[in-house]
Homo-oligomer: A and B are copies of this chain.
Amino acid sequence: MKRNILALLIVFFSAHMAVAAGGRISKKTEACISCHASVHPGIVADWGKSRMARVTPMSAKSMILKKRRVSFENVPEKLARVVVGCAECHTMNPEKHPDTFKHNGHQVHVVVTPEDCAVCHPVELGQYSKNLMYHAYGNLKNNPVYHGLVNSVNGIQSFEDMKTSLKEPDDQTDADSCFYCHGTVIEVKGMETRDTAKGKMSFPVLSGWPNQGVGRINPDESKGSCTPCHTRHHFSIEMARKPSTCSECHKGPDVPAYKVYTVSKHGNIYSAMGKTWNYKAVPWTVGKDFSAPTCAACHVSLVVSEEGKVVAQRTHQMSDRIAWRIMGLIYAHAHPISPDTTIIRNKAGLPLPTELTGEPVAKYLIGAKEQDKRQKTMKKVCLACHSQGWVDGQFARFENTIKTTNKMTLTATKILLSAWDNGAAKGLAQKDSIFNEAIEKKWVEQWLFYANSTRYASAMIGADYGAFANGRWYLSKNIQEMIDWLEFKLKKK
């Protein structure tokens, strides 16, 4: 009992501003904390430092629109006048949650989902659901081409009689690899009893757990997760606005946005001077609060000038400033219309937004007018610090890079097609995987690593990355290695 009081004292101290802001901790959350401050001290202390622990939904709503972080019209009365604590989220929508279980007399669920968050932040979920990220699980799992790539990367290869064979990966491996970022399927697989500090207790057994992928399939059948960016249990806007957060999924050679940022002038300014910036201000004032964009400044945040003019509206549909899709596909192309890309079919019947020759499948892609609109929205951010001539020059260079990298991919594709035609490798016509042989893997690197790295370096002006680090040098070398491989393979035994 004494310990429980101590736990509460600690939390009240951490959340000392709650009273000043007029909020109080609900009785249910007090009950959670009375044990969990002891069982999971880190998580409770982290929440104690958060805005959630200080501000009630009602007081959040009372701010002027530009400063507001909540977007609900109405919020349940029981939530309105307490700060947002353990119970508020983990007992939300219990009827929708198959992972709800009885826990010390409360109906608690483990997996807080975007639907739970949307009670206070419905506009953000509405926007986010139009994102490719929201569909990241299905776009990977339910697209046969991608699924084949996943298998070739995560599967187990064996070697017998001078031949290799591939076994499909197990779920644990997939969850530890591609689906860490794309999201797993979280399902309740039963209950288990565990010995705890409070005696025996029952808890649901979850498949695909842990996971915080952006397109996670949740027990309540909702999609996505807010915590990859709004990290539990501090939910700090500062963290969401800092590029390291995005880097968790956007750092590898397949999507090197963070690496390009760190070698760009923007990234350098952030690295050298960013320690003095204000990452918490809403709205976010360019020049005053920050001097160079982070990922969030260009893609997400509500950015204003000191005069109060809106430079960019807040959006959680990150694609609404993105005219081109430059990564993850064989060729760069206009952004897809539907964030669910499994619906796309090219002439060959493959679920790809271009033909193997690079020709776009226009029907599924945004048109020039929409591209122009999105680019204008993005350019408005650039123009906060750069002249029109500078910005136009930059975008012209980027679009040229899209063309040249597509050409270098086409050349690699032609070599691959020649390998298939000549029997040096087995591909589409032979109904074999297009990802399992060495020449195919080199072809994948041409677009998945080198072409897209070159494009990112161009788009975000981190030229060094696009030259020797992981860009044009390898684009160029890879073609020569592919053709040599073909020659060696075709030599008589």
Contacts and interface: CB of A to CB of B under 8 A. Distances in A.
A43 interface: yes
A309 B157 CA distance: 47
A463 interface: yes
A178 to B, nearest CB: 6
Contacts of A157: 408, 411, 476, 479
B46 A291 contact: yes
B393 A206 contact: yes
A382 to B, nearest CB: 10
A221 interface: no
A275 B440 CA distance: 45
A69 B461 CA distance: 30
A458 interface: yes
B286 A45 contact: yes
A458 B154 CA distance: 13
If over half of A's interface residues share one DSSP class (helix, strand or loop), that class is named, otherwise mixed; here it is helix
A239 interface: yes
A242 B42 contact: no
Contacts of A162: 418, 483, 486
Interface string A379-391: 0000111111110
A51 interface: no
Contacts of A68: none
Contacts of A7: 307
B42 A307 contact: no
Interface in A112-135: none
Interface string A168-202: 01101101111011000000000000101000000
Nearest to A254: B468
Interface stretch (A266-274, A336-344, A362-370): A266-274
A49 B43 CA distance: 34
A156 B407 contact: yes
A295 to B, nearest CB: 12
Interface in A38-67: 38-46, 48-49
A205 interface: yes
A467 B174 CA distance: 10
B42 A483 contact: no
A269 to B, nearest CB: 6
A432 B263 CA distance: 34
Contacts of A309: 38, 41
Contact of A210 (B194, B234, B248, B394): B394
Contact of A287 (B3, B45, B286, B287): B45
B244 A176 contact: no
A387 B110 contact: yes
Contact of A476 (B152, B205, B396): B152
The 4 closest A-B pairs by CB, nearest first: A45-B287, A180-B463, A42-B385, A41-B305
22 contacts: A37-B306, A38-B305, A41-B311, A43-B287, A45-B306, A46-B385, A154-B472, A162-B483, A162-B486, A164-B483, A172-B401, A176-B457, A176-B463, A196-B388, A231-B265, A252-B467, A254-B467, A438-B483, A484-B489, A488-B488, A491-B492, A491-B493
Given A41-B307, A172-B397, A180-B463, 7 more contacts: A38-B309, A110-B389, A181-B464, A210-B394, A236-B272, A253-B468, A436-B480
